[in-house]
Amino acid sequence: MLTSEAILPDRPDDGNEKETTLYGSIGAILQVEQGEGTVVLRGERASVAFRYVDEHTLRMKLFFGDNPDMRTTPAIMQAAGNGKIEVEERDEHIVLTSGALHAVVNPQRFSLRVFDAEGRLLLEELETAWDTPTNVTFAAAKTNETHFYGLGEKTGFLDKNGERYEMWNSDVFDPHVQDTDALYQSIPFLMRFEYGKPTYGLLLDNPGRTVFDMRSHEDRYTISTHTGELDLYVLGGPGIKDVVRRLTDLTGRSYMPPAWSIGYQQSRYSYMSQEEVLEIARTFRRKQIPCDVLYLDIHYMDEYRVFTWDSKRFPRPKEMMAELKEMGFEVVPIVDPGVKKDPKYPVYAEGVRNGYFCRKLEGDIFIGKVWPGLSAFPDFTEEEVSRWWGDLHRFYIEHGINGIWNDMNEPSVFNESKTMDLDVLHGNGGDPKTHEEWHNLYGFLMSKATFEGMKRGMGGERPFVLTRAGYAGIQRYATVWTGDNRSFWEHMAMSIPMVLNLGMSGIAFAGPDVGGFSHHSSGELVARWTQLGALIPFFRNHSAIDTRRQEPWLFGEQVESICREYIGLRYRLLPYLYSLFYEAHQTGVPIVRSLIMEYPEDRGAYNICDQFLLGSFLLAAPIYRPGVRSRAVYLPEGIWYDYWTGERHEGGRSILADAPLERMPLYVKAGAVIPEAPLRQWTGEASDEPIRVQAYAGADGTSESRFTLFEDDGRSYDFEAGKYRLREFRLTETNGQVRFTCECSHDGLSGGRELSLVFNQAAGEPAGIEISGDAEIGAWTYDSANRQLQVTVRAANSFELTIR
């Protein structure tokens, strides 16, 4: 525990930002050289290479030698950079043009400004300077009106102006608080937003320790490196969604997970035996609380040796798995990178024999202490090691396991530095990197190896990988959970901006431990957190050893029924949610969105941290304090309906929402089109009932709203070969006449085309319903008490329905 001694005056590190003397700067540009897609500006003291990765993405690399090293880290997908680059001299400036962006360099004394095609200023660089070639600081302009988003998994509020963060993957068990600089993930990506101006992003491709400082200076923000070179990507907008799209063009889109991993998941450190796991599964089914996944934490292993079972606790894992499958459960075991140092343990022996573990330059294997005691760590920078590690997962696949949980992969080591020695040398296919230089990539590369190994072994099925550590691009291989939070109301509140900023950093599939990991939860907290979790992409309840258990039925009947209802809500929303996952996989646009992302002109929206949108139609306003039974909800422009009561609200203002314990304030936008499924106990449970499309009228005169429903088998990669169905729904309302259009742009599935359309807030009993296209109306009913019109449409491929 820290005492007041921690704030002793005049100690060497008093926490204040020290002004380091930066003495090097580029100086004047002496020469311009144009090569294949690259322009090099040779300066007095250093040079800068520019490349357009595509027309919206400018790469800028500072270098000191003769030639720039344009290789990238594995985070980057489009390393080659096919973008065209044109150079001209204009008004004594050097202008580098892609079409969509213009980079303007002042050659008298290097400075850079980036404009968009309309000539609007995006980035204004103020200084690029260093004290040593690897301690570089890049400064760019900000004002009091600037808002910052992104930066991945960080504590604090949504808008990061006024904050300073380090990128250094860290296992932080201390409570995560606002001045926790670094957590498990490092996504060195910052988005700069100002009302009325084009938004842009900056990605720093440097997996060593870096600092993003939006606090220390009024007029500028700085990005600093401590190792490696300054390798920056400027991503054009103009909108927030555009920037996220560009970022995921560069670092990849979220993987398409199996549908079961979108269901509710239950975990505990640890379920201690096979019998306990089965009992938990049976309880879910008996109590009719939907659930898809159970987790096995470290106690399933033989003295924490990965790829083994503890034969006393789990004597018949195959039988257990068969019984769980029968009940519709998937199982996700934990796999940490530390391999127990034990010559009789085949994974360790093989790893040593083949030179697969990380070593110091002098040749010794790096040995660190983790759960199994002294352990070695695979060097995932080597292709052969990654393949070996990935193939070891056949052990799990043979047991019917389709998902893996990667933990402790910062890597966390129980020593003073909390991680691997910085002078460990990673082989990296002949281009060695010290651990200090590539620390933040360790978890990324472990999850990559895991994902690829599982994919290879699963015969066309889609794996699920969960990770604690990661770097930019981690979304290609894994889902991110936000590590060891606590059962604190503050941590529930903080999880919202954290997940929203992860989404704005390209990581759409993320979420916290629902109920809180360490400390002791309460029934009220579990109820409220489950309400929130039901609408967050990754939905897992997990808790630590020695804490109060937190399965949904342990806090009395009221909490149990609240959990059942909200988990059920998630299962009903699955077609909507699954389609949003597909959208994220296709476009990078996140599943849950900050209000500012959907309403970038709304002056009240830039820092709303306690509300979010699921897709663009559902707005959630969770309760995150105990004893609170009402709250203010800010509704952006438009008409909104209370999801529970149907009450209509005019947006562009705040309202006071009623929130008894069983109610999380939730709103649906007029014009919404939300496909829902019948309630199931697990995502794969068979059902004959058709998809029910909930349409909400009342957006008369506003523009058409759209939603694209994606369907496939939910498990395989067959969708990549065309076995999927895409139906775009469009809703328009003019002078009280509602038109619902369904356009099937791809139909690679057989059967299951029927739709049940529900028009909520209907103006009255329809005078007539007409349909055209290749579909027919089955039956329709009008419920005047609820103002609901229900129409069944058979063979619903492409059709147009008009209600008068």
For ligand GLC, the binding residues (CB under 6 A) are 269, 297-298, 334, 407, 468, 483-484, 517, 542
Please state the closest distance from residue 184 (CB atom) to ligand GLC, in A: 8
Please state the φ and ψ torsions of residue 485, each to the nearest 5 degrees: -75, 180
Q: Closest separation between CB of residue 626 and ligand GLC, Å?
A: 24
Nearer to ligand GLC, 467 or 611 (CB): 467
Least spacing, CB of residue 305 vs ligand GLC, in Å: 14
Known active-site residue 407: yes
Query: Among residues 407 and 583, whose Cβ is nearest to ligand GLC?
Result: 407
Q: What is the DSSP letter of 622?
A: -
Considering the complex, what minimum distance in angstroms separates the CB of residue 420 from ligand GLC? 17
Closest CB to ligand GLC among residues 491, 542: 542
* Residues 552/541, Cβ–Cβ less than 8 Å: yes
Candidate list 407, 452, 583, 642, residue with the active-site label: 407
Q: Are 437 and 207 in contact (CB under 8 A)?
A: yes
The residue (of 98 and 482) whose beta carbon lies closer to ligand GLC is 482
Residue 412 Cβ vs ligand GLC, minimum distance, rounded to whole Å? 8
The CB density around residue 207, as the number of other CB atoms within 10 Å, is 27
CA distances, 128 to each of 39, 50, 62, 224 (Å):
18, 15, 9, 10
Q: 434, exposed or middle or buried, with CB in 10 Å at 0-12, 13-18, 19+?
A: middle
Cβ 550 to ligand GLC, closest distance in Å? 13
Please, which residue, 300 or 348, has the CB nearer to ligand GLC?
A: 300
Contact of 539 with 264, CB cutoff 8 Å: yes
Strand partners for 147: 193
In 3-state terms, what secondary structure has residue 732?
strand
Q: Say whether 484 is catalytic.
A: yes
Residue 562 to residue 704: CA distance in whole angstroms:
35
Q: Looking at beta carbons only, is 300 or 634 nearer to ligand GLC?
A: 300
The smaller minimum CB distance to ligand GLC, of residues 130 and 405, is found at: 405
Q: How far is residue 94's CA from residue 724's CA, in Å, rounded to a whole number?
A: 49
Contact 558, 532 (CB under 8 A): no
Q: For residue 329, give the 3-state DSSP assignment.
A: coil
Tell me the closest approach of the beta carbon of residue 508 to ligand GLC, in angstroms: 21
Least distance (Å) between residue 58 CB and ligand GLC: 38
Bridging pattern class, strands 433-434 and 424-426: antiparallel
User: Could you give the CA distance from residue 645 to residue 667 in angstroms, rounded to a whole number?
Assistant: 10
CA distance 643 to 535: 14
How far apart are CB 548 and ligand GLC at their closest, in Å?
Answer: 15
| Residue 648 contacts residue 664 (beta carbons within 8 Å) | no
Find the catalytic residue in 484, 551, 598, 711.
484
Distances (CA, A) of 341 to 359, 366, 523: 14, 11, 42
Q: Among 492, 515, 468, 731, which residue's Cα sits nearest to residue 620?
A: 492
Cβ distance to ligand GLC smaller for residue 298 or 584 = 298
Per-residue tokens: 142: 């900000």
Structure tokens at 691: 């998809």
Q: Minimum distance between the CB of residue 165 and ligand GLC, rounded to whole angstroms?
A: 20
Catalytic site residue from 54, 166, 297, 410: 410
Q: How wide is the angle at C-alpha 722 spanned by C-alphas 717 and 726, nearest 5°?
A: 105
- Closest Cα partner for 89 from 76, 104, 74? 104
For ligand GLC, which residue has the nearest CB?
A: 269
Which strand ranges, in their side-by-side order, compose the sheet holding 47-54?
29-34, 38-43, 47-54, 57-63, 231-235, 200-204, 189-193, 147-150
What is the Cα–Cα distance from 629 to 707, expressed in whole angstroms?
33
Q: Are strands 293-296 and 265-266 parallel, antiparallel or unpaired?
A: parallel
Nearer to ligand GLC, 225 or 485 (CB): 485
Cα gap 76→233, rounded to integer Å = 10
Spatial separation of the C-alpha atoms in residues 86 and 17, rounded to whole Å: 40
- 512 or 575: whose CB is closer to ligand GLC? 512
Q: Which is nearer to ligand GLC, 192 or 268 (CB)?
A: 268
Structure tokens belonging to residue 779: 């039956």
CA dihedral 371, 512, 582, 332 (to 10 degrees): 30
Distance separating alpha carbons of residues 726 and 746, to the nearest angstrom = 5
Through-space distance between the first and last CA atoms of the chain, rounded to whole angstroms: 70
The token pair at 704 is 């058409």
Cα separation of 20 and 247, whole Å?
Answer: 31
Residue with tokens 């600089």: 181
Measured CA to CA, the distance from residue 513 to residue 533 in angstroms comes to 9
Which residue's CB is nearer to ligand GLC, number 220 or number 542?
A: 542
Least separation in angstroms between residue 350's CB and ligand GLC is 24
For the bound state, the minimum distance from the C-beta of residue 480 to ligand GLC, rounded and expressed in Å, comes to 12
| Strand segments (E) across 44-90 | 47-54, 57-63, 86-90
- Residues forming the active site: 407, 410, 484
